[in-house]
Structure 1
């Protein structure tokens, strides 16, 4: 399943702690190795609703910008690796990784604003993500068959490290048992808020 445009990784350098990020400047292609944290709320029918704090990392490959200047430049992205871990007294240890059957893709672009004044305008970032939620205490892995849309507004640097974001979820996003995709949802995500961290040391990520 493809949630957007594929970005090639061949020959693209991995970027780690110490990488310089210049505001209002579209960078060369790269694979950003970034920290990430999130707070997700799950609703499990017949069990309850639980809010879980997650921490981990993501690896995001970026395309070449479509223009050399900030204003017209668009950048396409693919999430190529993710690992986040959270603890819940009721749900146990939850590990979130990418669903290899989905292409989790997005873009960074300047939103249309007819009232924009002079000077550089901030961009917006969106990513459609397919994930696996490994919940041993429930005895299953859960997947989202509809994409989780992660968004960041007011983007002034690429990557938008350190920026808060939110998951665009209308009321509840169904999660299905990975071994029974045609069955009824086992749980739902009802809220998702995340913060994109900065570049990590190479030793933190095994690739």
Structure 2
């Protein structure tokens, strides 16, 4: 009825992929260690929002169009690279404020902005759509490829496991902020390091191909 085959194997594979360090893991670790648990969780939920965006494209067949249209793929890639480089520049420009107030505590970041940044960095990354185009069809029953139902159900399952892991990762890594706050210079280096991370993520998107 659902058009799904080997659902148990899909869940297992999805969890293993969630646990494998990747772009999302690096991004969440960076945001959590420099902004704290709340910022990390907001960023993780933003990542999930971006995943949901790509799942919708895949379910509606739009991601296949993106993968087969070099100009559309290039345009989306440029937007993603540009936004990541913007976050990197922003981190360096704001690194002076990373020293915090007189008490040595970091200034709180906007949770809405943290969610937005996570959502945009993922939604503007065409590599996410390509991943789902390659991964999901293996678990769709023959003859059900034209229906959006199996793709949506598989995608939502992956989204659920991914969100749980990313939020847990944000909570655990966010505890490092208190240690950084005890050393303003260490926190300053961490914030500047986050800028480099954003640029490296941008370079990763830049070299992606629609094949």
**TM bracket (short chain):** under 0.3
* Bigger Rg over Cα: 2
TM-score when normalising by structure 1: 0.26
Q: Which has the higher contact order (CA 8 A, sep 6+)?
A: 2
Q: Which has the higher strand share?
A: 1
Q: Which has the higher helix share?
A: 2
